[in-house]
Amino acid sequence: MAASAISSCPSLPIAHRRPTHILCQQQLPTGRRSAGHRDWRHGPRSQVTKTSSGHYDGELAARWREIHGSGNWEGLLDPIDPVLRAELIRYGEFAQATYDSFDYDRFSPYSGSCRYPAKTFFQDVGLAGVGYEVSRYLYATSNDLKLPNFGNLKHKSADDKLWSESGTFIGYVAVSTDEETACIGRRDIAVAWRGTITRLEWVADLKTKKPLVEMGVPCPDPSVKVEMGFAELYTGKDVDCRFCRYSAREQALAEVRKLVELYHGRGEEVSVTVTGHSLGSALAMLNAFNIAETGANATPDDGSTAPVCVFSFAGPRVGNLSFRRRFERELGVRALRVVNVHDGVPKVPGAFFNEAAFPEPVLRAVDVLGVGGVYTHLGVPLELDHKASPFLKDTIDITQHLHLLDGFRGRGGGFEPRGRDPALVNKSTDFLRDEHMVPPVWYQAENKGMVRAEDGRWVLLPRHRDIDEHPEDTDHHLQRLGLTASS
């Protein structure tokens, strides 16, 4: 068979087991297996038994507002509430999926894109049966830096069916299915943001603070300031790139607005949940702020407003005290930050002037003086410690956070795994201790995507060419928000 006719190699099955009661069964996607192969994570069984997306026999449907932060998670963190734990793992997996689906291969003409079609995304990343469907991919660039994301040119500019030199897949918007909506008590719109991978994004991380309104994000308070590199990636665009002619901000706002309007119009309760890891956490905070600030979560025709919540992982500080005040008190956005106490990322920026070092009046006074390094965290922290787990090396990653959530009992409560497979830690890392005998970086396509063509030569497997572009109604929904693609 010619290489061009060979279908994509499916990913290896992943066992996303949760500590839940049996309610339904979902078939995992299967990869190519040798004769006599058995999925060692589940013994002879070919199915994973779980509740739909990990909720507890309808308990989430009755408590979703509480789990979503209506009470700022008071009384739910120590010891951790089991329903909240399952939800944090769910959204953490959504963030993890942005890494699992990203095309890292610099030899691929699609390098920097998502490896999978939107319609099969969750199945392809091993989350079949999660109860959500991707409605739109999000792309980002920080074009002012004039740096390519990867070291080699991937295609000729005339070939507009191949990938972009300046744009990258940065996340996605997904929405709960009808069945899942009935289980979780509302229609949930999830926005997941990817963390730092490309060289361009590393440079974007290293900037200073600037008023939000000057970064192209409308805000009535000019004292609200955010880290400039994060905002540039969120608002940057490239008019010559078919994927980044809208900024990531515009793409996300248009899609959230469309979905909120659609489901409010059907008389449904709606929530917006934003998640991300590391740099993705910073983008999630900006996006949640922006959704509430523009009213993308509201339907003026009937007065309905969807609550906005952030579940972030290993996130840095994003802005100053004015940003926090506007975010939490005036816009009412809720944020729960999952952090490893040994991780350096949540300690920056603002290594000197921050909420842990000085009281709020001091920070405010210093900020008014124009000192650039004044930052403060948002929301409520949930602190984990990787040294509590007997499985982990002394390293930090998103997979490690999910492992720690699975075994977290509370402060000083030790570590007690509840069913999530520790092997998942080593999907793309080497963070499990060697005595557990799990090979590092085991989650990858067979032969790294290379296939044997009819002439006997080995070639890189051709990918699907139907890379999703922007929906035609993007401008319409931006206009509904009082925005234009140039604002």
Which is catalytic among the residues 401, 403, 470, 477?
Answer: 401
User: Residue 227 contacts by C-beta under 8 Å, 6 or more apart in sequence?
Assistant: 207, 208, 209, 282, 316, 317, 318, 319, 349, 375
Distance CA 12, CA 74 (A): 39
- The catalytic position among 343, 367, 397, 406 is 343
In 10-74, which residue ranges form alpha helices assigned H by DSSP? 59-67
- Assess whether 343 carries a catalytic annotation: yes
- pLDDT higher than 80, residue 197: no
Say what percent of the chain tops pLDDT 70: 79
The whole-number average pLDDT for the span 269-298 is 97
Distances (CA, A) of 437 to 38, 359, 391, 432, 434: 17, 47, 11, 9, 6
**CB count in 10 Å sphere of residue 393:** 15
CA distance 404 to 459: 40
Q: Decide if 13 is inside a domain.
A: no
Structure tokens at 10: 């499916």
Query: Is 379 domain-assigned?
Result: yes
Question: What distance in Å separates the CA atoms of residue 80 and residue 380, rounded to the nearest whole number?
Answer: 13
Euclidean distance between CA atoms 234 and 250, whole angstroms: 9
Residue with more model confidence, 467 or 299: 299
Q: Which residue has the higher pLDDT, 71 or 147?
A: 71
Residue 39 in any domain: the answer is no
Q: Report d(CA 9, CA 421) in Å as an integer.
A: 24
**7 lies in some domain:** no
Total number of domains in the chain: 1
Is 28 a member of any domain? no
Instruction: Render pLDDT for 366-403 as a digit per residue (tens, 0 to 9).
Output: 999 988 789 999 999 999 999 999 999 988 889 999 99
Is 401 assigned a catalytic role?
yes
Amino acid sitting at position 232: E
**What is the model's pLDDT at position 109?**
79
Answer yes or no: 278 catalytic. Answer: yes
Dig out the tokens for 42 from the structure: 């589940």
The pLDDT assigned to 300 comes to: 81
Report the CATH number that the domain containing residue 92 is assigned in CATH.
3.40.50.1820
In angstroms, the CA 379 to CA 363 distance is 17
pLDDT at 112: 86
In a domain, 14, yes or no: no
At 413-463, the pLDDT tens digits run 889 999 899 999 999 899 999 999 999 999 888 888 889 999 999 988 776
Q: Let me know if residue 194 belongs to a domain.
A: yes
Q: Please report the pLDDT score of residue 222 as a whole number.
A: 93
Alpha helices in 236-278 (DSSP H): 248-265
Dist. CA 275–CA 337, nearest whole Å: 10
- Which domain covers residue 339, as residue numbers? 59-480
Calculate mean pLDDT across residues 227-243.
89
DSSP string for 106-167: TTSTTTTSBSS-GGGHHHHTT-TTSSEEEEEEEEE--GGG---SSSS--S-TT-TTS--SS-
How far apart CA 214 and CA 201 sit, in angstroms, is 20
Instruction: Say which residues have a Cβ less than 8 Å from residue 213's Cβ, sequence separation at least 6.
Output: 219, 222, 224
- Please identify which of the residues 111, 271, 278, 322 carries the catalytic annotation: 278
- What average pLDDT does the segment 83-89 reach? 97
Percentage of the chain beyond pLDDT 90 is: 61
The predicted structure's pLDDT at residue 466 = 59
pLDDT at 2: 40
Quick one: how far is CA 255 from the chain centroid? 16
Residue 242's pLDDT is what? 81
Given its phi and psi angles, is residue 380 left (phi above 0), alpha (psi -120 to 50 degrees) or beta? beta
Cβ burial of 210 (10 Å; 0-12, 13-18, 19+) is middle
List Cβ neighbours of 139 (8 Å cut-off, separation of 6 or more). 164, 167, 168, 169, 170, 243, 244, 248, 251
- State the average pLDDT over residues 16-28: 33
Hey, what are 123's tokens?
């199945």
**Mean of per-residue pLDDT scores for the chain:** 82
